[in-house]
Amino acid sequence: MTKLIPTTDLFANYCGYSDVEPYEIVRIVSDKCIEVRAMDTSKQKTKLDFHVGGFSAHCSNQHDQKYDYTSNSENSVQKIRLRKNGGWMNKDDQRFNIAEAPYKFYDYNF
């Protein structure tokens, strides 16, 4: 896997425990600090298959989720910094991955 160097044409996807939220890189402050802004998403119509199981139901095709992504200059900007371990994190120790495309994922099975 190639490690991407942040540029303003790349994205920084926030990784929760299993959910992912898309952010766009808006400014490179330094080689160890970048500014990111959350992107707006709208879910495309995708038929998700839910079956009895788990806490209430189990989604067997949750990886088929599709979203439309749009930039929103009204969303707040935050800084994320490169840590010694090579990961990007904000001040609350939330992890971000630099990516070529925005990505959103909601884990229905968690």
Give the predicted TM-score (pTM) of the model. Answer: 0.85
Indicate whether 1 pLDDT > 50.
no
pLDDT tens digit string along 4-62? Answer: 888 888 999 999 989 999 999 999 999 999 999 999 999 988 888 877 876 677 778 88
State which amino acid sits at residue 79. Answer: K
- Residue 53 is classified by DSSP as -
Give the pLDDT score at 54.
Answer: 65
Give the pLDDT score at 108.
Answer: 78
Give the pLDDT score at 57.
Answer: 77
Length in residues, the chain: 110
- Residue 109: pLDDT band (50, 70, 90) is confident
51: helix, strand or coil: strand
pLDDT tens digit string along 68-99? Answer: 999 999 999 999 999 999 999 999 999 999 99
For CA atoms 102, 6, 35, 32, the dihedral sign is positive
Give the pLDDT score at 91.
Answer: 95
